[in-house]
């Protein structure tokens, strides 16, 4: 189960951060999840809620921000949201879009007490 190991990684980061900041509890964990990261938000939240019990993150809420798939043209340098897996540049019609975001999955911020 892919999401379970991701949730464990997120919890590790959050607990580590809380420890370093002498926090009593973790209130919120903000995540950036790319549209193309392959992460299932519901199942990630479910996994996180399951493993957070009894830790400083017991009451922590997972807040997900989805980022679209974006590419930059290798020829004219323009940036676009990629729709329908169309990787050809809509501007110059000659370049190929290189993916610059949309595959990431990372902790963006943490709110602790
Ligand atoms: Zn172009």
Q: Are 97 and 82 spatial neighbours (Cβ–Cβ below 8 Å)?
A: yes
* Residue span of the structural domain in which 42 resides: 2-68+102-112
What span, in angstroms and rounded, lies between the C-alpha atoms of 65 and 41? 10
Distance 13 CA to ligand 1 centre (A): 39
Specify the pTM.
0.83
Assigned domain for 77 exists:
no
pLDDT in tens, 56-86: 999 999 999 999 999 999 999 999 999 888 8
Burial (CB count within 10 angstroms: exposed 0-12, middle 13-18, buried 19+), residue 57:
buried
Predicted confidence at residue 1, as pLDDT, reads 56
Report which DSSP code applies to 55: S
pLDDT at residue 2, as a whole number = 86
Note whether residue 43 is domain-resident. Answer: yes
Quote the ligand 1 centre to 83 CA distance (angstroms). Answer: 15
Distance 17 CA to ligand 1 centre (A): 42
Which SS3 state, helix, strand or coil, does residue 73 take? strand
Q: 40: which DSSP letter?
A: -
Classify residue 35: in a domain, yes or no. yes
Where do the H-state alpha helices sit in the chain?
2-20, 41-51
Give me the number of domains the chain comprises: 1
pLDDT in tens, 14-57: 999 999 999 999 999 999 999 989 999 999 999 999 999 999 99
């Amino acid at each position: 189960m892919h999401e379970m190991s991701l949730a464990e990684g997120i919890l590790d980061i959050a607990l580590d951060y809380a420890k370093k900041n002498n926090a009593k509890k973790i209130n919120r964990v903000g995540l950036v999840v790319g549209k193309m990261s392959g992460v299932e938000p519901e199942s990630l939240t479910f996994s996180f809620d399951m493993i957070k019990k009894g830790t400083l993150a017991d009451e922590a809420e997972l807040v997900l921000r989805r980022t679209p798939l974006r590419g930059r043209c290798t020829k004219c340098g323009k940036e676009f949201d990629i729709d329908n897996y169309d990787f050809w540049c809509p501007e110059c019609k000659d370049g190929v879009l290189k993916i610059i975001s949309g595959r990431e999955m990372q902790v963006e911020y943490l709110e602790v007490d």
